[in-house]
Amino acid sequence: MKRIERVGAIIKILSENPGKQYSLSYFCDMFQSAKSSISEDIHAAKQILETIDSGMIETTAGAGGGVRFLPCISDTDTAALLDLICEKLRDKSRILGSGFLYTSDIMFDSNIVKCAGEIFAGRFMGLGADYVVTIETKGIPVALMTAHMLNLPLVVIRRESKISEGSTVSINYISGPSERIQKMSLAKRAVTSGSKAIIIDDFMRAGGSIKGIIEMLSEFEIEIVGTGVVIASTEPQKKKISDFFPLIYLGSVDESNKIIEVFPNSLISCKKIL
Amino acid sequence: MKRIERVGAIIKILSENPGKQYSLSYFCDMFQSAKSSISEDIHAAKQILETIDSGMIETTAGAGGGVRFLPCISDTDTAALLDLICEKLRDKSRILGSGFLYTSDIMFDSNIVKCAGEIFAGRFMGLGADYVVTIETKGIPVALMTAHMLNLPLVVIRRESKISEGSTVSINYISGPSERIQKMSLAKRAVTSGSKAIIIDDFMRAGGSIKGIIEMLSEFEIEIVGTGVVIASTEPQKKKISDFFPLIYLGSVDESNKIIEVFPNSLISCKKIL
């Protein structure tokens, strides 16, 4: 294979397996090439991704070393994504009454949640997390994409304990605009005590669900190293949790004039964080 | 930019947006290059993906034409994935009693469901589907990845109708080993009548849930063009639906001797289908 072919192939293989470490020998064997050639190929691949501002290739030397792709959405693409979500959210037909908005189409749009996952991955990379944790249902897609970008397992907390989950730990928590008591369940075998987790969810109002997740994880002595939500409402100002990272803020929903106030979190920049 | 850089960039951009059509002008503008150069670049990119057997680049001529990436997992990778799932499923610690197996870690593994989604996408590509439909919860990851590979929206049927779904249509259906009556709900605004859908789910025993999904979609006059499940049990032999495509068959679960019988669907070949 020629250099151009090896470089193209390396870009394809690394970028579709974010976070996965490949040894140099893997590519040497694949292309029947010397280590020195492969090193140059990887260097070329790295520069291409830098030029188009589309993630980075990290090389580590030594016995356990190798090469892996770390996704990083550009500031331009981040801004475009947040604008797209805001524009979609401003559509007045989303108003369902009682302050609720229809957001399922956004949360189940694979392109949107993939980009959102890239933003969260950039934010929470390098914190030593062992899992991405969410609670069913609408947060699953964005949590899955975040997990994929970080090469971590996804853990989904269920509302009801299911027979297919085996033995579970359940807690009650208070959430929702009417501060209702709800239940969540986590399979005992889904996590290991003493590990670290990132929490990802689709929407946060006062933070009751996420506080519940934190309590649940503390039953397993799991440390939370980051919390990301796609949309956080500005009200109530006093949240039940202190440290979270939203992509979008939802302000007032004026049901009589059909005006939905939304704005992007202006503090997001993948670049600054990495 | 040099050819090697343009080709690398084209591979990265196309392959991370499966199914999305790009015009030649998009790349001409991006790289400040003539159409003839970009055509040659795309041709080179196409050949590289063919060489490493990792999806294909499709070009269409004319005014509405352009270029897009169609994912296609190689036969080798398909076989490796099915073997991996089978090996994981054979782990006797998965036995939960009453014939149930713990599968959440598999269904929430982003690398596994991404490859499974690629197999389903290869199988159901070109059938004119408008959506990928699943029912919460454990089928969501694989359905999302399938939707992503086909560049289609994901529609998730809920167990309970939620206020955040707006007005819904609900049906009762019979499912599970104990043939229990269950309920499913779909937001009216999630689908358009007269469209086409692919159904994807994690597990199928007799097919009650999928029969329920078909009934639900028929309420909206939606045609089913394909049904894929990750695992189908061999028992009962008589299924409630006739046409489905499983990746893995689950045979008997011998709880006293802790033996789980699983085998891959030997009829799978992405190549033959495309």
Where are the domains positioned within chain A? 3-70, 75-273
Question: What is the rounded average pLDDT of the residues A2-7?
Answer: 96
Chain B interface includes A176 (CB < 8 A): no
Instruction: Tell which residue, B220, B161, B226, has the closest CA to residue B194.
Output: B220
Q: A249-271, pLDDT tens digit by residue?
A: 999 999 999 999 999 998 776 54
Task: Return the bridge partners of B248, or none.
Answer: B231, B264
Cα distance from B223 to chain A (closest Cα, Å)? 20
Chain A interface includes B189 (CB < 8 A): yes
- How far are the Cα atoms of A70, B111, B166, B173 from residue B161, in angstroms, in the given order? 39, 31, 9, 15
Residue A162 pLDDT class (50, 70, 90 cuts): confident
SS (H, E, C) chain B: CCHHHHHHHHHHHHHCCCCCCECHHHHHHHHCCCHHHHHHHHHHHHHHHHHCCCCEEEEECCCCCEEEEECCCCHHHHHHHHHHHHHHHCCHHHEEECCEECCHHHHCCHHHHHHHHHHHHHHHCCCCCCEEEEECCCCHHHHHHHHHHHCCCEEEEECCCCHHHCCEEEEEEEECCCCEEEEEEEEHHHCCCCCEEEEEEEEECCCHHHHHHHHHHHHCCCEEEEEEEEEEECCCCCCCCCCCEEEEEEEEEECCCCEEEEEECCCCCHHHHC
Interchain CB distance below 8 Å, A164 and B102: yes
Tokens 């609900």 belong to residue: B170
Cα distance from A88 to chain B (closest Cα, Å)? 15
Peptide bond into B236 cis (omega under 30): yes
Residues B226, B230, B235, B240: is their CA dihedral positive or negative? negative
| Residues B34 and B45: beta-carbon distance below 8 Å | no
Q: Which residues contact B198 (CB under 8 A, 6 or more apart)?
A: B120, B124, B127, B129, B131, B132, B133, B146, B150, B152, B224, B225, B226, B227, B228
Question: What residues in B contact A136, CB-CB < 8 Å?
Answer: 136-137
| pLDDT above 70 as % of chain A | 98
* pLDDT on residue B269: 63
Chain B interface includes A164 (CB < 8 A): yes
Question: What residues in B contact A118, CB-CB < 8 Å?
Answer: none
Is the pLDDT reported for residue A272 higher than 70?
no
**Which of A102, A114, A145 is the closest to B164 by Cβ?**
A102
Residue B266 pLDDT class (50, 70, 90 cuts): confident
Cα distance from B41 to chain A (closest Cα, Å)? 11
For domain B75-273, say whether CATH 3.40.50.2020 is its number. Answer: yes
Chain A interface includes B200 (CB < 8 A): no
Cα distance from A125 to chain B (closest Cα, Å)? 17
For the beta carbon of residue B52, count every other beta carbon within 10 angstroms: 19
DSSP conformational letter for A243: -
Question: What residues in A contact B54, CB-CB < 8 Å?
Answer: 9, 12-13, 16
Q: A80-111, pLDDT tens digit by residue?
A: 999 999 999 999 999 998 888 999 999 999 99
**Distance from C-alpha of A79 to C-alpha of A269, rounded to nearest angstrom:** 9
| pLDDT above 90 as % of chain A | 89
Q: A115-160, pLDDT tens digit by residue?
A: 999 999 999 999 999 999 999 999 999 999 999 999 999 999 999 8
Distance of CA B269 to the CA centre of its chain: 15
Question: What residues in A contact B137, CB-CB < 8 Å?
Answer: 136-137, 140, 156, 158
Tokens 């009829």 belong to residue: B267
Residue B272 pLDDT class (50, 70, 90 cuts): very low
Interchain CB distance below 8 Å, A4 and B48: yes
**Which of B9, B51, B141 is the closest to A48 by Cβ?**
B9
* pLDDT on residue B274: 38
Please compute, for residue A106, the number of CA atoms within 13 A of its CA located in the half-sphere on the CB side.
23
| pLDDT above 90 as % of chain B | 89
Is the pLDDT reported for residue A241 higher than 50?
yes
Is the pLDDT reported for residue B217 higher than 90?
yes
* pLDDT on residue A1: 84
b/e B146-165 (16+ beta carbons within 10 angstroms → b)? bbbbbbbbbbbbbbebbebb
Interchain CB distance below 8 Å, B156 and A44: no
Q: Which helix (H) or strand (E) holds A229?
A: strand A223-233
Tokens 């999630």 belong to residue: B190
Interchain CB distance below 8 Å, B11 and A13: no
Question: What residues in A contact B136, CB-CB < 8 Å?
Answer: 136-137
- Give the residue from B70, B104, B156, B158 with the most A CB atoms within 10 Å of its CB, the best one to mutate: B104
Most confident of A58-72, A164-178, B244-258, B259-273: B244-258
Residue B65 pLDDT class (50, 70, 90 cuts): confident
- Give the residue from A69, A110, A155, A202 with the most B CB atoms within 10 Å of its CB, the best one to mutate: A110
Question: What is the rounded average pLDDT of the residues A15-29?
Answer: 96
What is the edge-to-edge ordering of all strands in the sheet holding B154-157? Answer: B154-157, B131-135, B196-204, B223-233, B245-254, B259-264
For domain B3-70, say whether CATH 1.20.58.190 is its number. Answer: no
Question: What is the rounded average pLDDT of the residues A23-52?
Answer: 96
Interchain CB distance below 8 Å, B187 and A102: yes
* pLDDT on residue A192: 96
Q: Which residues contact A81 (CB under 8 A, 6 or more apart)?
A: A73, A112, A115, A116, A119, A247
* pLDDT on residue B147: 98
**Which of A12, A48, A164 is the closest to B15 by Cβ?**
A12
Q: B86-108, pLDDT tens digit by residue?
A: 999 999 999 998 888 999 999 99
Which region among A43-52, A169-178, A220-229, B261-270 has the lowest average model confidence (pLDDT)?
B261-270
The chain A residue lying nearest B27, using CA atoms, is A52
The tokens for A86 are: 């805001």
Cα distance from A61 to chain B (closest Cα, Å)? 24
**Distance from C-alpha of B248 to C-alpha of A230, rounded to nearest angstrom:** 35
Interchain CB distance below 8 Å, B45 and A8: yes
H helix and E strand count, chain A: 9, 12
Cα distance from B30 to chain A (closest Cα, Å)? 9
Which region among A96-100, B51-55, B222-226 has the lowest average model confidence (pLDDT)?
A96-100
Angle A153-A158-A161 from CA coordinates, rounded to 5°: 120
**Distance from C-alpha of A176 to C-alpha of A190, rounded to nearest angstrom:** 26
* pLDDT on residue A99: 80
Residue A18 pLDDT class (50, 70, 90 cuts): very high
DSSP H helices, A176-245, are 208-219
Global pTM value = 0.96
**Distance from C-alpha of B172 to C-alpha of A14, rounded to nearest angstrom:** 46
